[in-house]
Amino acid sequence: MTSPETTAIFTRSWSLYDLLTEYNYMFHREIYRKIEDILKLRGDQGHYRLLDLGCGNARYLAPCLKQAVPVIYEGVDLSEAALTEARGYLAELPGQVFLTRRDLLEAIESTEKTWDVIFTGFAIHHLAPDEKARFFHAAGRCLAENGWLILVDVVREENQDRESYLDGYLKFMRETWTKVPKDQLEEACAHVHDHDYPECLSTLRGMASEAGLHSTQLISRYAQHHTLLFSRSTLEKI
């Protein structure tokens, strides 16, 4: 399960991650424009229930939800600083809003609710392989029959080992994240090196299928950053 050390960079200084997203180094603007588009396609606008795992401050998802309003939103994160900011970003959202400080795997394995959309952004790659399988199993258990699991995360190429992936991603960070102060950039690089365990797409698809989510759609891809939609049955191309 994610340890305190895994999330220390975020629980200690949420502002660093927010800085990275402000400069769009991880393609948040493009990714969340597409997230808004696909949420608008749901036929249960104003009535669907959304669980956001590793919600952070919800800065980028909140505008999407104002355009595709859920009846219930629950955000889960370990960073109290991020959750405090999330309350502000979600303040004008109609419907019920709940924010919980908790480990995301514990949260999804213990929920007794049924969710129409489970969303997680740049969080699952911190889990060990067996924990990822548990995550998918729990998602399959609590997702509504026509529910969607939307996963935004970094993904390895097929047959690429972790070390090769890390070499490429750390190079990407050091060459393109030029507006981040040097000491903070190296802190972020150390975090990625020590705590990122992304899977390849076929592995994620296999875990999802074993959990009853037999359909996988690649919604968008920007370098290593993928948006995937898992569902029980095949959807029309989104």
What is the tens place of the pLDDT at every residue in 22-34? Answer: 899 999 999 999 9
Q: Of 39, 16, 36, whose CA–CA distance to 26 is shortest? A: 16
**Percent of the chain surpassing pLDDT 70:** 94
What average pLDDT does this structure show over 195-207? 97
**pLDDT classification of 234: cutoffs 50, 70, 90:** confident
Alpha helices in 51-161 (DSSP H): 61-67, 80-89, 104-110, 129-142
Q: What is the mean pLDDT of residues 179-201?
A: 93
> What is the pLDDT confidence band of residue 4, given thresholds at 50, 70 and 90?
very low
| Any domain includes 238 | no
Flag whether 185 is in a domain.
yes
The answer, yes or no, to whether residue 114 has pLDDT greater than 70, is yes
CA separation, residue 110 to residues 105, 131, 186 (Å): 8, 14, 36
**Amino acid occupying residue 147:** G
Residue 155 lies inside a defined structural domain of this protein: yes
pLDDT of residue 94 exceeding 80, the answer is yes
Query: Per the domain annotation, does 236 fall within a domain?
Result: no
- Residue 237 resides in a domain: no
Evaluate if residue 14 carries a pLDDT over 70.
no
User: What average pLDDT score do residues 186-192 get?
Assistant: 91
**Gap between the Cα atoms of 232 and 97, Å rounded:** 27
Which of 65, 64, 104, 67 has its CA nearest to residue 82? 104
Closest-CA residue to 138 (of 230, 47, 216): 230
What integer pLDDT is reported at residue 238 of this predicted model? 72
CB 200 within 8 A of CB 157: yes
Confidence of residue 17 (pLDDT cuts 50, 70, 90): confident
Residue 125's CATH number: 3.40.50.150
- The model's confidence at residue 20, banded by pLDDT at 50, 70 and 90, is confident
Distance CA 86, CA 230 (A): 26
Identity of the highest mean pLDDT range in 1-15, 18-32, 58-72: 58-72
| Structural domain total, the chain | 1
The whole-angstrom separation of Cα 8 and Cα 10 is 5
Asked if residue 3 is part of any domain, the answer here is no
Domain that holds residue 221: 8-231
